[in-house]
């Protein structure tokens, strides 16, 4: 395995350089006693505006190289003729690999499950956008057969997936085919059942339109507060965490009372609710690109004028709402809320949309990378951690569109971009 030396703008750390040795991060030069890193040929590449430099480079061992790079040649070892390891230099704007904290690689919008090939396509599309970790936020298909190293059908080089089981909702109160549908009294038991098939997270649907109200139909909470509190407590006692889909203001007070761990979307949260969520350490995943679809959703709700106007009102205040979240110091993680459309609407689109709505690029990039990873307990720059990085040839905090074209993506120390 190639050893890499990473320098440049290392975002999220005070380190000025790191090495990647046997797929893991090292803070020490593994060849300092044997290699003169000032030697060797210099290999510089330039790329056009539509494709960054060295994105198609190959180091001769089937692994890609990226950025402005220099390869140290093999030299004799002081203990004998054994050659020193090759060290490939990578420089640029380097982040711990992006985290898409809300995507659905195993989700199907039909009664038929997604195929292996479709799961792989979605995961590779995520990787192409610099994503090395995914928090899967509800899916019928368990993707562990492809993404778990313990599986006999494991496919290496894919983003690492934190599974959350299947959506939990009440009958007729969410999108067809997606959720496990139960009555409220069954929620604690079903939450534990989904936790058992997850990697520590479950996903609840907190509110949805109640069409039984006819013309007055609007977003309504799905769960009585006491049942929600019981279910969240049961998951916490079992060592798990709870993420909840919510659009409506009325739902959030119950979520805060229950002590959920992550609020997905949160488009209806008031200032006081945002402050309480911040003070409790609750994560907010704003899914800004998904929120921008509210006018389209409203256009299909002509039978439900109250609901339609509610969705349009939230859209009208979307940018101010994002800016308020930033002002109050919300604990952001970033998710694209994609499934089959991840190649077209993945993390690069999510980050661009967030910046367009007033989230500083430095905030969105940290939430999508090192800060978001820390908030989910994932490694960043620690000694011995898996080497999962994304490299850019320009600064995405100056031009966030750069995230659409990573120069390199390293997963477990193997360059895949």
Summarize pLDDT for 255-302 with one digit per residue, the tens. Answer: 999 999 999 999 999 999 999 999 999 999 999 999 999 999 999 999
> Beta 414-415 vs 201-205: how paired, if at all?
unpaired
Strand partners, 95: 390
Summarize pLDDT for 27-85 with one digit per residue, the tens. Answer: 999 977 454 444 443 333 333 333 333 333 343 333 444 454 554 544 444 444 455 66
pLDDT confidence of residue 125:
98
Rounded Cα–Cα distance for residues 44 and 36 (Å): 19
Beta strands in 296-368 (DSSP E): 331-332
Neighbouring CB atoms inside 10 A of 365's CB total 29
DSSP 168: E
Rounded Cα–Cα distance for residues 336 and 351 (Å): 9
- Domain 3-95+384-415 class? mainly beta
Residue 332 pLDDT exceeds 70: yes
Rounded Cα–Cα distance for residues 117 and 141 (Å): 13
Rounded Cα–Cα distance for residues 11 and 372 (Å): 13
Summarize pLDDT for 306-318 with one digit per residue, the tens. Answer: 999 999 999 999 9
Our CA angle for 182, 183, 187, nearest 5°, is 75
Summarize pLDDT for 361-416 with one digit per residue, the tens. Answer: 999 999 999 999 999 999 999 999 999 999 999 999 999 999 999 999 999 999 98
> And the tokens for 80?
């004998």
Q: 320: closest CA among 271, 252, 256?
A: 271
Three-state helix/strand/coil letters over 207-257 = EEECHHHHHHCCEEECCCHHHHHHHHHHHHHCCCEEEEEECCHHHHHHHHH
According to CATH, the superfamily of the domain at 100-368 is Metal-dependent hydrolases (3.20.20.140)
Residue 234 pLDDT exceeds 80: yes
Domain ranges of the chain: 3-95+384-415, 100-368
Averaged pLDDT for residues 223-238: 98
Averaged pLDDT for residues 216-236: 98
> And the tokens for 412?
């477990």
pLDDT confidence of residue 34:
52
**Percentage above 90 pLDDT, the chain:** 86
pLDDT confidence of residue 42:
35
pLDDT confidence of residue 107:
98
Rounded Cα–Cα distance for residues 289 and 25 (Å): 33
DSSP H/E element including 354: helix 347-356
Rounded Cα–Cα distance for residues 320 and 104 (Å): 28
Q: 106: closest CA among 347, 336, 339?
A: 339
Q: What is the dihedral of CA 341, 401, 23, 37, to 10 degrees?
A: 160
Neighbouring CB atoms inside 10 A of 164's CB total 28
Residue 122 pLDDT exceeds 70: yes
pLDDT confidence of residue 50:
37
Is 380:132 a contact under the CB 8 Å cutoff?
A: no
Q: 348: closest CA among 410, 398, 395, 403?
A: 403
- As to burial, measured by CB atoms within 10 angstroms (0-12 exposed, 13-18 middle, 19+ buried), residue 74 is middle
């Amino acid at each position: 395995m190639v050893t890499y030396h990473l320098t440049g703008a290392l975002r999220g750390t005070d380190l000025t350089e790191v090495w990647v040795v046997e797929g893991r991060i090292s803070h020490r030069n593994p060849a300092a006693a044997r290699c003169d890193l000032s030697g060797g040929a210099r290999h510089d590449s330039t790329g056009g505006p539509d494709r960054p430099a060295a994105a198609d480079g190959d180091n001769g061992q089937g692994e890609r190289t990226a950025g402005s790079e220099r390869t140290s040649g093999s030299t004799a070892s002081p203990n004998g003729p054994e050659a020193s390891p090759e060290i490939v230099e990578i420089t640029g704007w380097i982040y711990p690999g992006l985290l898409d904290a809300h995507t659905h690689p195993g989700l199907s919008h039909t009664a038929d499950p997604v195929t292996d090939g479709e799961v792989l396509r979605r995961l590779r599309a995520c990787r192409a956008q610099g994503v090395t970790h995914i928090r899967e936020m509800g899916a019928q298909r368990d993707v562990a057969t492809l993404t778990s190293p313990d599986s006999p059908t494991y496919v290496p080089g894919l983003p690492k997936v934190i599974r959350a089981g299947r959506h939990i909702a009440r009958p007729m109160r969410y999108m067809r085919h997606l959720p496990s549908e139960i009555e409220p009294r069954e929620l604690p038991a079903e939450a534990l059942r989904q936790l058992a098939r997850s990697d520590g997270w479950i996903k609840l649907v907190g509110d949805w339109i109640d069409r039984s109200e006819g013309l007055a139909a609007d977003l309504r909470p799905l769960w009585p507060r006491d049942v929600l509190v019981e279910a969240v407590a049961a998951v916490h006692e079992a060592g798990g965490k709870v993420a909840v889909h919510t659009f409506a203001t009325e739902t959030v007070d119950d979520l805060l009372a229950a002590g959920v761990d992550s609020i997905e979307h949160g488009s209806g949260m008031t200032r006081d609710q945002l402050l309480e969520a911040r003070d409790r350490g609750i994560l907010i995943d704003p899914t800004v690109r998904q929120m921008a679809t509210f006018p389209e959703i409203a256009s299909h709700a002509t039978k439900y004028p109250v609901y339609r106007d509610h969705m349009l009102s939230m859209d009208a205040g979307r940018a101010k709402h994002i800016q308020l979240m930033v002002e109050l110091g919300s604990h952001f993680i970033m998710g694209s809320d994609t499934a089959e459309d991840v190649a077209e609407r993945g993390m690069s689109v999510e980050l661009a949309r967030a910046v367009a709505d007033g989230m500083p690029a430095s905030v969105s990039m940290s939430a999508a990378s090192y800060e978001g990873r820390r908030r989910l307990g994932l490694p960043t720059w620690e000694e011995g951690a898996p080497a999962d990085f994304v490299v850019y040839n320009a600064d995405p905090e100056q031009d966030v569109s750069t995230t659409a074209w990573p120069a390199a993506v390293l997963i477990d120390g193997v360059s895949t971009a």
